[in-house]
């Protein structure tokens, strides 16, 4: 029986970086090494695995082979697990409390993974979560009721420094078993009139002359998804982690494109430290991983 070899994390990091940059030269520049040193790391990894991982093309560009494509996601997962273990044993322990504000749709998609990983490393931290629309979280931040918040770009965050976590298009969402998008006027399930997503949807429809009616209104994304899953209306959402029973609608369904949007992370001026920065780091990492998954799916 052949005993599997142990994969060196440093070799996997070099492989992932080259795959993401599609260039040995750029990867070497990012890590401050020579191109020959990075190439040797890949050769060692290919030697251990017994398969070629990259096709070398003209101009220094590289493409993943079939085996390289198989390895990429798994390498990312292995490195993430390796980093989590290292952080758990080496990251300075913090304690205390932190109050995080987050809209319910972001909470459902991203928060469980953040809280689980954060609690494993910082078990002495008490995280209080306030779920509310972005427009309600901004005043709470200004008043010092929150340490940290995730908000949608454009929701009255003027004068506050926000770190972009996510950037991507909004998409139309409809039932995968019904055809509410074919009705005239088009039935919509939207947030309240002050929501920037709602304004974007209506502007897009009016620009194309598509007739519509606001059939359902909810202050939370979960409230707009319920009538959509029942086939009674359509709504819009980021194209991430959609629930079962819905699908993305597009031009082929007679719907206009929607604009891009950003998710911002804002830290309050008087946020409790260092616990707030520690939680912010975990949130940033989770969104970065989700962005990679979404770009691969596209």
If one counts the domains in the chain, the total is 2
In this predicted model, what pLDDT tens digit does every residue of 87-139 receive, in sequence order?
Answer: 767 666 778 899 999 987 777 777 887 888 788 778 888 999 998 888 888 89
Structural domain range at position 23:
9-90
Domain boundary among 57, 90, 123: 90
Bridge partners for 47 per DSSP: none
- Domain shared by 75 and 107, yes or no: no
Task: Say how far apart CA 262 and CA 197 lie, in whole Å.
Answer: 11
In this predicted model, what pLDDT tens digit does every residue of 248-263 receive, in sequence order?
Answer: 999 999 999 998 888 8
Secondary structure element (H or E) that encloses residue 69, with its range: helix 66-90
Q: Parallel, antiparallel, or unpaired: how do β-strands 186-190 and 212-217 relate?
A: parallel
131 falls within a domain: yes
Q: Name the residue with tokens 């931290």.
A: 125
Q: What Rg, from alpha-carbon coordinates, does the chain have?
A: 23
Residues 6+ apart with CB under 8 A from 261: 152, 153, 154, 167, 168, 169, 170, 196, 197, 200, 238
In this predicted model, what pLDDT tens digit does every residue of 146-188 receive, in sequence order?
Answer: 999 998 766 555 556 788 887 778 899 999 999 999 999 999 9
- Domain shared by 27 and 124, yes or no: no
Least confident range of 64-68, 200-204, 285-289: 285-289
Tokens representing 101 are 């504000």
182 falls within a domain: yes
- Domain shared by 150 and 215, yes or no: yes
Task: Say how far apart CA 34 and CA 160 lie, in whole Å.
Answer: 41
- Domain shared by 20 and 109, yes or no: no
- Domain shared by 139 and 220, yes or no: yes
Q: What is the pTM of this model?
A: 0.62
Q: HSE of 70 in the Cβ direction (CA atoms, 13 Å)?
A: 7
- Domain shared by 119 and 217, yes or no: yes
CATH code of the domain covering residue 58: 1.10.10.10
Pick from 171, 189, 164: nearest CA to 242: 171
- What stretches of 145-191 show up as alpha helix (H) in DSSP? none
What is the residue-averaged pLDDT of the chain? 84
């Amino acid at each position: 029986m052949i005993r599997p070899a142990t994969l060196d994390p440093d070799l996997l990091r070099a492989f992932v970086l080259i795959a993401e940059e599609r260039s040995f030269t750029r990867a070497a520049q990012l890590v401050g090494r020579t191109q020959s040193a990075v190439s040797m790391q890949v050769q060692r990894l290919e030697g251990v695995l017994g398969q070629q991982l990259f096709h070398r093309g003209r101009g220094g560009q590289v493409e993943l082979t079939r085996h390289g494509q198989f390895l990429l996601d798994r390498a990312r997962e292995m490195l993430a697990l390796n980093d989590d273990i290292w952080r758990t044993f080496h990251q300075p322990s913090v304690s205390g409390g932190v109050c995080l504000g987050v809209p319910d749709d972001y909470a459902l998609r991203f928060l469980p993974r953040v809280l689980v990983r954060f609690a494993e490393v910082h078990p002495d931290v008490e995280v209080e979560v306030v779920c509310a629309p972005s427009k309600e979280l901004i005043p709470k931040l200004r008043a010092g009721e929150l340490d940290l918040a995730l908000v949608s770009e454009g929701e009255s965050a003027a004068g506050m420094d926000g770190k972009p976590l996510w950037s991507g298009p909004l998409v139309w969402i409809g039932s995968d078993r019904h055809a509410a998008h074919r009705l005239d006027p088009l039935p919509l399930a939207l947030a309240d009139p002050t929501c920037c997503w709602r304004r974007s949807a209506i502007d897009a429809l009016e620009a194309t002359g598509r007739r519509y009616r606001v059939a359902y209104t909810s202050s939370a994304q979960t409230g707009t998804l319920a009538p959509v899953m029942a086939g009674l209306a359509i709504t819009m959402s980021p194209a991430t982690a959609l629930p079962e029973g819905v699908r993305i609608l597009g031009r082929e369904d007679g719907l206009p494109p929607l604009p891009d949007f950003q998710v911002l992370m804002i830290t309050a001026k008087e946020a409790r430290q260092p616990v707030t920065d520690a939680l912010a780091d975990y949130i940033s990492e989770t969104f970065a991983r989700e962005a990679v998954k979404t770009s691969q799916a596209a």
